[in-house]
């Protein structure tokens, strides 16, 4: 039992280490390329860049079926056993899901821009034109099946390497744009290339790992044409995807509302501040991709005591990261923000502190949501998250009118607290010994 706990924790922290090392390099690059873009475009035009890329990301997130979770949930045992007969139909289903959702996202995004770009988002014809051709990016943002293969293969180092490769494309492109005083369209094209590079690297990596694990004659083409007969697979995929859609609305929808109500300059301030604060919380966040396979193993073996032990250890690590992130935000956040934006605004320190608190609460929410997903409590999560997000948009609109960007940060904290408390209550039966004994899962 003790050795299994150590093994699970070792895998989680080892895989997290790969991802953290990549993210640290990416964070350093982001400080550089954001500053270059602000210098080249100016704060207001940089805000337009953020509005367009935020919209593209939101469309992708809202239409992207979370096929990697389906692959891990239904295919983990077949993958470990190298059972192609059971695994390949599930993989084919996941690839089809990615392709269908990308097509729907591309077409739907263009339609929304044409119908609501001016009336709802407040975009000019030039911005609508740029946003429309940028919707091509959505076709290359769905890497669910290949991400799932990387995680099943325990190759988190490759995922970090691919992420770093795409960041290099973006950093080099933004540097060229800064040196050549390039227009907005150039920076948008570089953002497209950065997403395409990640798609290409991840897909090729997934194919290579599949050939090594399942053999060259794995029958990928026939799997694409064969419907999966796994019971409940569509329902599970839709439930986890709806949860991610709600999360995307919470993360990205607020940015578009800020742009519509306050303008591009305030969007730039809000998004860059959020990026800095998310970066401070990123080391703890990087544990999350490592958690799902471990929680699935504990569920399948009914090892509830080991699950509680691992969860408590992770909570201590996240708490340590949280204290460190808050200290960095208090003493260095303002300086980092000035280096990136080369501008100042009201209530800087308060906004930074609120955004850090929101980011850290989201870090605490994700492992609880992962546990609840594995244990089949997705329907409950969806009901409560939908209610909280509806409340969030009401609070956001009111606070934006009252206190601008500070209100946006405060609204984010309030809703993160609500979601965290709800998830903690729902997960108590698996992480609390007293609740576990009451429910017969000691």
- Which sign, positive or negative, has the C-alpha torsion 428, 433, 436, 437? negative
Closest by Cα among 282, 286, 290 to 12: 290
Token output for 275: 């990026």
DSSP for 289-348 reads HHHHHHHHHHHHHT-HHHHHHHHHHHHHHHHHHHHHHHHHHHHHHHHHHHHHHS---TTH
pLDDT band at 83 (very low <50, low <70, confident <90, very high): confident
Least confident of 56-65, 73-82, 287-296: 287-296
7/390 Cα distance (integer angstroms): 41
Query: ∠ CA(434), CA(285), CA(98), 5° rounding?
Result: 105
Residues 19 and 157: their CA atoms lie apart, in Å, by 7
User: Is the pLDDT confidence value at 284 over 60?
Assistant: no
If you compute the radius of gyration of the chain from its CA atoms, what whole number of angstroms results? 22
Confidence of residue 308 (pLDDT cuts 50, 70, 90): confident
pLDDT digit string, tens, across residues 147-206: 888 888 877 678 778 888 898 999 999 999 999 999 999 999 999 999 999 999 999 998
Structure tokens of 254?
Answer: 């607020």
The predicted pLDDT at position 22 comes to 60
pLDDT tens digits, residue range 363-384?
778 778 777 877 777 778 778 8
Altogether, the residues listed in the chain come to a count of 442
pLDDT score, position 118: 84
DSSP string for residues in 375-410: TT-HHHHHHHHHHHHHHHHHHHHHHHHHHHHHHHHH
State the pTM of this model.
Answer: 0.72
- Alpha carbon distances (Å) from 287 to 10, 33, 424: 12, 26, 18
pLDDT in tens, 315-351: 777 777 667 777 777 777 677 777 666 666 677 778 8
CA distance 145 to 164: 20
> Cα dist. 256→53, 140, 239 in Å?
11, 22, 25
Q: How high is the pLDDT of residue 135?
A: 94
pLDDT of residue 110: 94
Specify the pLDDT at position 240. Answer: 77
Please state at what angle helix 2-41 crosses helix 288-301, rounded to 10 degrees. Answer: 150
Give me the mean pLDDT over the 96-108 stretch.
92
User: What distance in Å separates the CA atoms of residue 442 and residue 436, rounded to the nearest whole number?
Assistant: 5
Least confident of 66-75, 109-118, 212-221: 212-221
Closest CA to 359 of 282, 266, 252, 249: 282
Long-range contacts, stretch 81-87, CB < 8 angstroms, 24+ apart:
82/213, 82/214, 84/214, 84/215, 84/218, 84/219, 87/214
Whole-number Å distance between alpha carbons of 77 and 222: 21
The pLDDT of residue 433: 61
Lowest mean pLDDT among 173-187, 285-299, 415-429: 285-299
Inter-residue contact 71 to 90 (CB < 8 Å): yes
H/E element holding 7?
Answer: helix 2-41
Q: How confident is the model at residue 266 (pLDDT cuts 50, 70, 90)?
A: confident
**Tokens 């000691």 identify what position?**
442
d(CA 442, CA 431) in angstroms, rounded, equals: 10
Contact 33, 53 (CB under 8 A): no
pLDDT of 290? 63
Q: Which of 156, 153, 152, 158 is nearest to 69 (CA)?
A: 152
pLDDT mean across residues, the chain: 80
Work out the percent of the chain whose per-residue pLDDT is above 70.
Answer: 83
pLDDT of 129: 94
Which positions ≥6 away from 377 have C-beta within 8 Å? 426
pLDDT at 138: 94
Domain spans, the chain: 2-438
CB contact set of 123 (below 8 Å; sequence gap of 6+): 51, 113, 117, 131
Q: DSSP 3-state assignment of 16? A: helix
């Amino acid at each position: 039992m003790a050795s299994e706990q150590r093994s699970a924790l070792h895998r989680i922290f080892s895989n997290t280490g790969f991802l953290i090392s990549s993210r640290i390099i990416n964070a350093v690059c982001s400080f550089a390329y954001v500053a270059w873009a602000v210098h080249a475009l100016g704060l207001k035009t940089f805000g337009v860049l953020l509005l367009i890329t935020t919209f593209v990301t939101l469309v992708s997130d809202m239409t992207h079926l979370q096929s990697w979770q389906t692959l891990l949930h239904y295919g983990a045992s077949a993958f470990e056993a190298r059972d192609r007969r059971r695994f390949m139909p599930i993989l084919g289903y996941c690839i089809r899901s990615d392709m269908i959702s990308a097509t729907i996202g591309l077409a739907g995004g263009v339609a929304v821009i044409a119908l609501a770009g001016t009336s709802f988002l407040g975009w000019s014809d030039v911005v609508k034109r740029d946003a429309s051709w940028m919707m091509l990016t959505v076709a290359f943002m769905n890497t669910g099946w290949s991400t799932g293969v990387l995680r099943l293969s325990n190759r988190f180092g490759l995922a970090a390497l691919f992420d770093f490769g795409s960041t290099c494309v973006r950093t080099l492109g933004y540097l060229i744009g800064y040196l050549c005083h390039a227009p907005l369209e150039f920076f948008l094209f570089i953002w497209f290339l950065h997403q395409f590079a990640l798609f290409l690297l991840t897909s090729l990596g997934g194919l290579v790992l599949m050939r090594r694990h399942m053999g060259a004659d794995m029958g990928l083409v026939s799997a694409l044409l064969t419907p999966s007969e796994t019971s409940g697979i569509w329902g599970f995929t839709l439930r986890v995807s709806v949860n991610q859609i709600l999360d995307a609305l919470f993360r990205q929808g607020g940015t578009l509302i800020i742009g519509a109500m306050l303008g591009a300059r305030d969007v730039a301030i809000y998004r860059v501040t959020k990026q800095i604060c998310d970066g401070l919380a990123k080391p703890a966040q990087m544990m999350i991709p490592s958690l799902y396979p471990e929680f699935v193993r504990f569920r399948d073996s009914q090892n509830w005591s080991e699950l509680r032990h691992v969860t408590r250890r992770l909570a201590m690590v996240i708490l340590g990261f949280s204290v460190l992130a808050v200290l960095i935000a208090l003493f260095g956040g303002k300086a980092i923000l000035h280096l990136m934006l080369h501008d100042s605004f009201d209530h800087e320190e308060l906004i930074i502190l609120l955004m850090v608190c929101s980011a850290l609460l989201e870090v605490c929410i994700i492992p609880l949501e992962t546990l609840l997903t594995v244990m089949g409590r997705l329907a409950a999560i969806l009901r409560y998250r939908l209610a909280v997000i509806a409340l969030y948009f009401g609070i956001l609109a009111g606070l934006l009118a009252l206190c601008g960007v500070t209100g946006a940060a405060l609204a984010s904290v309030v809703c993160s607290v609500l979601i965290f408390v709800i998830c903690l209550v729902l997960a108590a039966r698996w992480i609390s010994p007293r609740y576990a004994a009451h429910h017969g899962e000691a």
